[in-house]
Structure 1
Amino acid sequence: MEDIYPGIVRLRFGSPEKFTPSFFKRPASDRILSSMPVPKKSHLDIDCIEFRKTSRGCLLEIPLSSGEDIYGFGSQMKSFRQNGKKRTIRVNSDPPSDTGETHAPVPYYLSTAGYGILVDTARYAVFYCGTHVKRSSGRNSGGGKAGCLSDRTEELYGGSDSQSRKVVMEIPSAKGIDIYLFYGDTVLDALRRYILFSGGGCFPPIWALGIRYRGYTKLDQEQVIQLCESFRNDNIPCDVFGLEPGWQSKAYSCSYEWDKVRFPSPDRLRAGLKELGYKISLWEHAFVNPSSPVYGKLRPFSGDYLVFNGLVPDFSIPKAAKIFADYHEKEFVRNGISCFKLDECDNSDYIRSPWSFPENSSFPGGMDGEQMHSLLGILYQKTIDDVYIRNNIRSYGEVRSSHCFSAPYPYVLYSDLYDHREFVRALVNCGFSGMLWAPEVKHGLSKEDFIHRLQTAVLSPLALVNAWTMVHPPWKQFRRAENQRGELMGDRKDLIAVVKKIFQFRMSLVPYLYSAFLRYHLEGIPPFRALVLDYPDDLKCREIDDEYLVGDSILAAPLFAEQQKREVYLPSGGWFDFNTRKFFQGNATYEISPKLDETPIFVKENSILPLSSTNESIDKDTCFNLTVLAFGDNPEPFKLCIDDGTTFNYENGDSGWMELSWDRTAGKGVAKIRSNCRIKRYRISKWDHVQAASVSVAGACGGEVQ
Structure 2
Amino acid sequence: MPNVSCLRSLLILLCLIPATLAAQTIQWQEIYPGVWKGVAGKPDDYDLLKAAEITPSQALAKLSKEAFPLNKAEIQVQQNNGKTYLRLPLVKNEQLFGFGLNFQTVHQRGRIMQLHADHYGKTDNGRTHAPVPFYVSSLGYGVFVNSAKYIDVYAGSNVRKDSKNPPEVMDRNTNKSWSAHPYSDAVEMLIPAQGIEIYVFAGPKPINAIQRFNLLSGGGCLPPRWGLGFTQRVHRLYTSEQVKQEAKAFEEKGFPLDFIGLEPGWQSKSYPCTFEWDKSRFPDPAGFVKEMDAMGVKINLWTNPYVSPDAAIYKPILPFTGSHTVWNGIVPDLSMPQARKILFDQFEKEHVKIGVSGYKIDEVDGFDSYLWPDVATFPSGHSSEQIRQTYGLLVQKHSFEMFRRNNARTYGLVRASNAGGASFPYVIYNDNYSHEDFITALINSGYAGVLWTPEVRASKTAEEWLRRFQTVCFSPMAMINAWSSSTQPWTFPEVAAQVKAVAELRMRMMPYWYSEFAKYHYDGTPPFRGMSLEEGFSGNVIKEKTATDLEANPYEEALIKEVKDQYMAGEFLLVAPLFTGQKSRKVILPKGKWFDFYTGKLVGDGEIITISPGLDQIPVFVKNGAIIPMMPALLHAPKAEQKVDLEIRHYGDQNGSYKLYDDDGETFAYEKGIFSWRDIKVEKQKDGKLKGSISNAEANKPSTVGNISWRYMTE
CA deviation string 1:117-165 (max 9, x = no partner): 111111110110111112249999753534469xxxxx99x732x3110
Q: Which residue of 2 aligns with 1:488?
A: none
Q: Which residue of 1 aligns with 2:693?
A: 670
Farther-moved stretch of structure 1 (193-202 vs 560-569) = 560-569
Question: CA, structure 1 residues 96+600, in 2 after alignment: closer, same or farther (shift >3 Å)?
Answer: closer
Q: 2:651 aligns with which of 623, 631, 653?
A: 631
CA deviation string 1:267-304 (max 9, x = no partner): 23212211211011000011111111211111111100
> What is the rounded CA distance, in whole Å, between the counterparts of 1:383 and 1:403 in structure 2?
15
Q: Which residue of 1 aligns with 2:317?
A: 298
How far apart are 1:623 and its partner, in Å?
A: 2.6
Identity %: 36
Asked if residue 464 in structure 1 is aligned to residue 485 in structure 2, the reply is: no
Secondary structure at the counterpart of residue 283 of structure 1: strand
Unaligned runs of 5+ in 2: 1-27, 540-555
Q: Which residue of 2 aligns with 1:322?
A: 341
> What is the rounded CA distance, in whole Å, between the counterparts of 2:167 and 2:197 in structure 1?
35
Q: Which residue of 2 aligns with 1:485?
A: none
Matched AA of 1:304: S
Q: 1:100 aligns with which of 95, 109, 126?
A: 126
Q: Which residue of 2 aligns with 1:403?
A: 418
> What is the rounded CA distance, in whole Å, between the counterparts of 1:19 and 1:470 in structure 2?
43
Secondary structure at the counterpart of residue 311 of structure 1: strand
Farther-moved stretch of structure 1 (227-236 vs 657-666) = 657-666
Farther-moved stretch of structure 1 (576-585 vs 467-476) = 467-476
Asked if residue 257 in structure 1 is aligned to residue 276 in structure 2, the reply is: yes
Q: Which residue of 1 aligns with 2:180?
A: 159
Asked if residue 557 in structure 1 is aligned to residue 576 in structure 2, the reply is: yes
**Contact preservation (8 Å) 1:547, 1:558:** yes
Asked if residue 382 in structure 1 is aligned to residue 402 in structure 2, the reply is: no
**Contact preservation (8 Å) 1:219, 1:246:** yes
Farther-moved stretch of structure 1 (67-76 vs 647-656) = 647-656
> What is the rounded CA distance, in whole Å, between the counterparts of 1:677 and 1:211 in structure 2?
31
User: Counterparts of 1:658-697 in structure 2 under 5 Å?
Assistant: 658-665=678-685, 667-677=690-700, 680-691=703-714
Q: Which residue of 2 aligns with 1:334?
A: 353
Question: CA, structure 1 residues 159+617, in 2 after alignment: closer, same or farther (shift >3 Å)?
Answer: farther
Q: Which residue of 1 aligns with 2:16?
A: none
How far apart are 1:5 and its partner, in Å?
A: 0.8
**Contact preservation (8 Å) 1:569, 1:589:** yes
> What is the rounded CA distance, in whole Å, between the counterparts of 1:685 and 1:36 in structure 2?
34
Q: Which residue of 2 aligns with 1:526?
A: 526
Question: CA, structure 1 residues 614+383, in 2 after alignment: closer, same or farther (shift >3 Å)?
Answer: same
Q: 1:33 aligns with which of 60, 75, 84?
A: 60
Matched AA of 1:110: V
User: Counterparts of 1:120-159 in structure 2 under 5 Å?
Assistant: 120-136=146-162, 142-147=169-174, 159=180
Tell me how large the CA RMSD over aligned residues is: 2.0
Matched AA of 2:50: F
Secondary structure at the counterpart of residue 250 of structure 1: coil
Q: 1:590 aligns with which of 606, 609, 615?
A: 609
User: Counterparts of 1:446-525 in structure 2 under 5 Å?
Assistant: 446-473=461-488, 475-476=490-491, 492-525=492-525
Farther-moved stretch of structure 1 (132-141 vs 289-298) = 132-141
> What is the rounded CA distance, in whole Å, between the counterparts of 1:598 and 1:94 in structure 2?
30
> What is the rounded CA distance, in whole Å, between the counterparts of 1:445 and 1:308 in structure 2?
32
Q: Which residue of 1 aligns with 2:78?
A: 52
> What is the rounded CA distance, in whole Å, between the counterparts of 2:381 and 2:171 in structure 1?
48
CA deviation string 1:637-680 (max 9, x = no partner): 21221211111112223221333222422643222223345654
**Contact preservation (8 Å) 2:52, 2:394:** no
> What is the rounded CA distance, in whole Å, between the counterparts of 1:458 and 1:677 in structure 2?
34
> What is the rounded CA distance, in whole Å, between the counterparts of 1:26 and 1:583 in structure 2?
48
Matched AA of 1:669: G
> What is the rounded CA distance, in whole Å, between the counterparts of 1:597 and 1:144 in structure 2?
54
**Contact preservation (8 Å) 1:655, 1:676:** no
How far apart are 1:217 and its partner, in Å?
A: 1.2
Q: Which residue of 2 aligns with 1:20?
A: 47
> What is the rounded CA distance, in whole Å, between the counterparts of 2:585 and 2:448 in structure 1?
28
> What is the rounded CA distance, in whole Å, between the counterparts of 2:420 and 2:707 in structure 1?
38
> What is the rounded CA distance, in whole Å, between the counterparts of 1:275 and 1:32 in structure 2?
38
Matched AA of 1:624: V
Question: CA, structure 1 residues 137+290, in 2 after alignment: closer, same or farther (shift >3 Å)?
Answer: closer
> What is the rounded CA distance, in whole Å, between the counterparts of 2:642 and 2:428 in structure 1?
28
Q: 1:436 aligns with which of 436, 439, 451?
A: 451
How far apart are 1:323 and its partner, in Å?
A: 1.5
> What is the rounded CA distance, in whole Å, between the counterparts of 1:295 and 1:646 in structure 2?
33
Q: Which residue of 2 aligns with 1:170?
A: 190
> What is the rounded CA distance, in whole Å, between the counterparts of 1:412 and 1:137 in structure 2?
42
Matched AA of 1:22: L
Matched AA of 1:143: M
CA deviation string 1:496-549 (max 9, x = no partner): 212111110110111101001111111111111111112364465573121111
Secondary structure at the counterpart of residue 135 of structure 1: coil
Secondary structure at the counterpart of residue 116 of structure 2: coil
> What is the rounded CA distance, in whole Å, between the counterparts of 1:56 and 1:31 in structure 2?
36
> What is the rounded CA distance, in whole Å, between the counterparts of 1:628 and 1:127 in structure 2?
47
> What is the rounded CA distance, in whole Å, between the counterparts of 2:605 and 2:338 in structure 1?
56
Question: CA, structure 1 residues 460+183, in 2 after alignment: closer, same or farther (shift >3 Å)?
Answer: same
Matched AA of 2:642: T
> What is the rounded CA distance, in whole Å, between the counterparts of 1:341 and 1:201 in structure 2?
19
- Larger Rg belongs to: 2
Asked if residue 183 in structure 1 is aligned to residue 198 in structure 2, the reply is: no
Unaligned runs of 5+ in 1: 150-154, 477-491, 694-706
Q: Which residue of 2 aligns with 1:602?
A: 621
User: Counterparts of 1:209-220 in structure 2 under 5 Å?
Assistant: 209-220=228-239
How far apart are 1:222 and its partner, in Å?
A: 1.0
Question: CA, structure 1 residues 373+166, in 2 after alignment: closer, same or farther (shift >3 Å)?
Answer: same
Secondary structure at the counterpart of residue 682 of structure 2: strand
> What is the rounded CA distance, in whole Å, between the counterparts of 2:472 and 2:110 in structure 1?
31
Question: CA, structure 1 residues 30+613, in 2 after alignment: closer, same or farther (shift >3 Å)?
Answer: closer
User: Counterparts of 1:78-93 in structure 2 under 5 Å?
Assistant: 78-93=104-119
Q: 1:4 aligns with which of 22, 26, 31?
A: 31
CA deviation string 1:396-416 (max 9, x = no partner): 110000011111000000111
**Contact preservation (8 Å) 2:680, 2:693:** yes
> What is the rounded CA distance, in whole Å, between the counterparts of 2:489 and 2:632 in structure 1?
25
Farther-moved stretch of structure 1 (493-502 vs 379-388) = 493-502
Under a length normalisation based on structure 2, what TM-score does the superposition of the two structures give?
Answer: 0.90
Question: CA, structure 1 residues 251+639, in 2 after alignment: closer, same or farther (shift >3 Å)?
Answer: same
**Contact preservation (8 Å) 2:656, 2:683:** no
**Contact preservation (8 Å) 2:626, 2:652:** yes
> What is the rounded CA distance, in whole Å, between the counterparts of 1:561 and 1:416 in structure 2?
19
**Contact preservation (8 Å) 1:203, 1:520:** yes
> What is the rounded CA distance, in whole Å, between the counterparts of 2:335 and 2:397 in structure 1?
10
> What is the rounded CA distance, in whole Å, between the counterparts of 2:37 and 2:678 in structure 1?
39
Q: Which residue of 2 aligns with 1:235?
A: 254
**Contact preservation (8 Å) 1:446, 1:562:** no
**Contact preservation (8 Å) 1:553, 1:604:** yes
How far apart are 1:612 and its partner, in Å?
A: 1.3
